[in-house]
Amino acid sequence: MSFWEKNLEVLQKVAPDLAATLAATAVPEDHQARPSRSGPPYLQVGKQRLTSSYDPVKEGHDWAQALGEADGPLVVFGLGLGYHVLPLLAQERPLWVVEPSAAVARLALEHQDLTALLDKNGLRLGSDFTGLPKDARLVDHTPTRRLHPGPHRRLLRFLAGEEGELGALRILVVGPLYGGSHPIARYTTRGFKELGHVTEFLDFAPFYAGYQALARVTKDQRAEHKLKQELLRLLGETILIRARDFKPDLVFALAQSPVAPPLLKALKAEVPLVAYWFVEDFQVLTYWQELAPEVDVFFTLQKEPFFSELKRRGVKNYACLPLAADLEAYHPVDLTPEEKRRFGAAVSFVGAGYYNRRQFFQGLTDFDFKIWGSEWVLNSPLAPCIQNQAARVSEEDSVKIFNATRINLNLHSSPFHAGINPQGDYLNPRVFDLAACGAFQLVDWRAQLPEFFTPDKELATFTSLAEAREKISYYLAHEDDRRRLAAAGRERVLREHTYARRLATALEIIQDLHPGALPHRRPQESAAAPVQACFPADHPVQALLDRLPEGTPPDLEGLVSRIKESDEPLTEPEAILWFLHEFRRGLQGRGANGGS
């Protein structure tokens, strides 16, 4: 039995969720265990060596011996390949090891017998500090601390009794006029709200019709461009004005939102932090070059070589934040017989007609194949497959298609290739959306894919047209395999890839990069209490205030913001609160104008 099998067997009994996470972890190419000069493997992550390349065993013994044998619990930050941990396991003292990297933990379990640690549930991964005693002595594996300074600071705060609970932040999410990042902005808003933060979505989609209308005002392209830029500048000003009114702790802007460097500079003078999530391919859209240096944290979908480009341009605070699934939008649904006939097929694709897809899909027309989405050429060889005259597909219909289709094809877009992009790295939203629906998907291979899903266990992959055809034929004939992979993919999404989880990670990264910039508010016993005291006990407003969800800010503005979110007609108590809010704002406005 290998080290990995032996360790995994113990871990599955003691911590099954952790065992599942590590079993599904793919080790990146830049994580390598190589033979040392003395024989046993040493570990290198990128350019950082985590153990001695000469004699890692002796190095580990020397490190442990230098700690002494004092009593009391011990927490070690950093597992490496475990050489420094093994001598400590022989001591009679409570021991925990916190390893921030799942890939490093996986390599350690592959190369070392750590059952003595695992049997006592002594391994913690990432920010899971469950069960760590606050009186424990913290010792650092220095190379791990250098590689992960943020998680190290987080652990220090936890052991000091400052767990980093943010309480309810005020977050302003800024969306684009249109495009693929618009739904992501909506999901982001929901994700922050699910985490308990007071979140407002600044939605510019209603202005898109006006933006398009400017093209019909003049035939002069320079004049049209100037008009559009003026509209974008005006929308940018509304961001600044709304930020002054809402007073967010964090402005979280999405790709294609109407922000420019001058506006970002002005925003940073008004609010504590500004973050930007660039949910685009940096090699295709290059406007990130102007924006990245102007924000406090720049989130990306890609790592290298994007990170090197950011560093070269002087950007210091950046991090990879992958996409995720919105479970409110994407989920299994029961379809009527008519919906199954309309939306069902052996093979389906939902998405825009990019060049590479138009070329690749011509090799699949002999299957029962339906293509849904816009920008497809109706007088092309794909015409028999194109549905609904190449109209855009709503979110609701996409969910029905995913659920009705036996094999959902997912080919990432590329403007540079006739088929699959061999250098494709990040995952598009459809990977997570399909999995959240419990739908079977066949997706082109991407470099990041094994970090999120286990190929051939949670989804199927292809690297060529021939392989796509072969797997379509196989999975059409093996329904049980399709159902098994689809169920496993959904389970993985529910466990690891929701927007709430992703955005919790984003806030951790922001705290790591800007310690103390986000306020750590204490939870309110009753968000409505300050307003509740203003009304008699039997007043109708009291019942409304009692029903408000947790996280509602303890002021009139916060209460009214909750009321505004509802599409239902105003009740009398809601109208009273709204009137009081507007009346107070009127008084404040008069005061600002000198009472005139």
Same domain, 395 and 439: yes
Residue type, 502: R
Same domain, 197 and 237: yes
**Which two three-digit tokens encode residue 93?**
């003292």
Same domain, 408 and 549: no
Which of 125, 159, 193 represents a domain boundary (last residue)?
159
pTM above 0.95, yes or no: no
End-to-end CA distance of the chain: 85
pLDDT value at residue 590: 45
pLDDT value at residue 541: 64
Structural domain of residue 150, as residue ranges?
A: 3-159
Same domain, 266 and 358: no
pLDDT value at residue 29: 80
- Domain assignment present for residue 39? The answer is yes
Q: Give the domain CATH number at 380.
A: 3.40.50.2000
Under 8 Å CB-to-CB from 313, ≥6 apart: which residues?
289, 292, 293
Same domain, 556 and 464: no
Mean pLDDT of successive 10-residue stretches along the chain, which has 596 residues = 94 93 86 93 90 93 85 91 92 91 94 94 92 91 89 86 72 93 96 93 90 84 85 90 94 95 93 96 94 97 94 95 96 96 97 95 97 95 96 96 98 89 93 98 95 94 97 98 97 94 94 85 50 65 62 58 68 73 58 41
Same domain, 303 and 213: yes
- Domain assignment present for residue 473? The answer is yes
Reduced to 3 states, what is the DSSP secondary structure of residue 463? coil
- Domain assignment present for residue 36? The answer is yes
**Cα–Cα separations (whole angstroms), residue 526 to 383, 545, 552:** 59, 9, 9
Same domain, 222 and 259: yes
Same domain, 200 and 256: yes
Q: What is the DSSP letter of 280?
A: S
Q: Which residues are paired to 35 by β-bridges?
A: 41
Q: Which of 80, 181, 78, 90 is nearest to 138 (CA)?
A: 78
The count of domains in the chain is: 4
